[in-house]
Amino acid sequence: MPGISFDRAVDYYDATRGYPPGVAERLRDAIIAALELSRSAQILEAGVGTGRIAIPFIEAGYFYAGVDLSRRMMGQLRRKLDSRVHRVHLICGDAMHLPIADSTFDAVVMVHVLHLVEDWRQVLNEAHRALRPGGAIVLADEVRGECDGADHTPRAQVQRAWSAILDELNVPPDQRRDGAPHGLDERFRDHLHALGATVERTTLITYRQQLQTVREVARRYQERMYSSCWILPDHIHAEAARRLQHWIDEQCPDPDTPRDAPARIDAMIARRT
C-alpha cells in the first residue's frame, strides 16, 4: 500500500480539519513571500486532498497541480472551485512515484502527508526530482499551544487521554503508527540535505485555532475520524472509545467549555540548488 487514502474521510474532512476563516489565504501569501514566487510560478502539491491548501492558490490564478491517492478527496476539491476557468491539474496517483517529468515545478508543497505514506524518503526524492533548480519544497505543519510550549487545548487533552488508553490496552506500535514521522521531523531536514538541498525552518503565520470542546474532539476519536484510528482493530477501537467516554464522564473537569488557543504554521523550506 503506497499510503493511507483518505477516501473514507471525504464527507467530514473539511469540517474537522478546516482552518478558521482567512487562515488558508494568509498561508498562501506567506508561502508566496517566503519562496518569492512569481505569478507564473507552477506549484505542485503531493497529497492535495480536498484543497485546504490548494484552493487559495488556484483562486488567485496560480497554476496548481495536485496528486492524491484519493479520487474522492480531489472530487471534493473540484466541487469547491467556483465556475471561473482555473489553471488546475489533478492527478490520481502516488506521491512516491510522481507521474511528472524532472525539473518541472517551482514549488512542491506538502502538508500532513509524510506521516501517511509508505516511504517518506521516496516522496522527498520525488518532490526534489520534480523541482526546477532554484525551486523549493515546502513542508508545512501546525504547531499548537501557548508560547510556554504547554498545550491545554481540547485536542491535546483528548490526544493525551487517548494515548494513555492505548497504553493501558497494550496496543502495539504498528497499530498506532508510532514509527511514522510527526510534524516537521528533523529526519526530513537530514534527508533533504543529503539530496543536496539547502534547508531552513521558519514560521509562516500565527493564528487562533477554532473553538472546540473536549466532547467534540473525543467524538472524532470515537467515530474514527482521525487516520490514527483507522488501523486499530475494531474491537480495540470499540474498547478504547468506551474508556474515552468513561474518562469524559468521570475525570475530565470541563468537557463542554469551548476553548481556542494560539497556533502557528511552521515550515521547512528546502531549495534545490
Ligand X SMILES: C[S@@+](CC[C@H](N)C(=O)[O-])C[C@H]1O[C@@H](n2cnc3c(N)ncnc32)[C@H](O)[C@@H]1O
Binding site for ligand X (CB under 6 A): 2-6, 17, 46-49, 52-53, 67-70, 73, 94-96, 111-113, 116-117
The CB-of-110 to ligand X minimum distance in angstroms stands at 7
The CB-of-56 to ligand X minimum distance in angstroms stands at 12
User: Do residues 100 and 44 make contact, with C-beta atoms less than 8 angstroms apart?
Assistant: yes
Q: State which residue, 116 or 127, has the beta carbon closest to ligand X.
A: 116
Q: State which residue, 155 or 248, has the beta carbon closest to ligand X.
A: 155
Residue 134, amino acid = G
Q: State which residue, 73 or 252, has the beta carbon closest to ligand X.
A: 73
Q: State which residue, 175 or 227, has the beta carbon closest to ligand X.
A: 227
The CB-of-248 to ligand X minimum distance in angstroms stands at 26
The CB-of-39 to ligand X minimum distance in angstroms stands at 23
The CB-of-265 to ligand X minimum distance in angstroms stands at 10
* Residue 137 CB contacts under 8 Å (≥ 6 apart), including other chains: 107, 108, 109, 110, 124, 127, 128, 131, 192, 197, 268, 269, 270, 272
Q: State which residue, 111 or 252, has the beta carbon closest to ligand X.
A: 111
| Nearest residue to ligand X, scored by beta-carbon proximity | 3
* DSSP assignments along 154-209, one per residue: HHHHHHHHHHHHHHHTT--GGGTTTTS--SS-HHHHHHHHHTT-EEEEEEEEEEEP
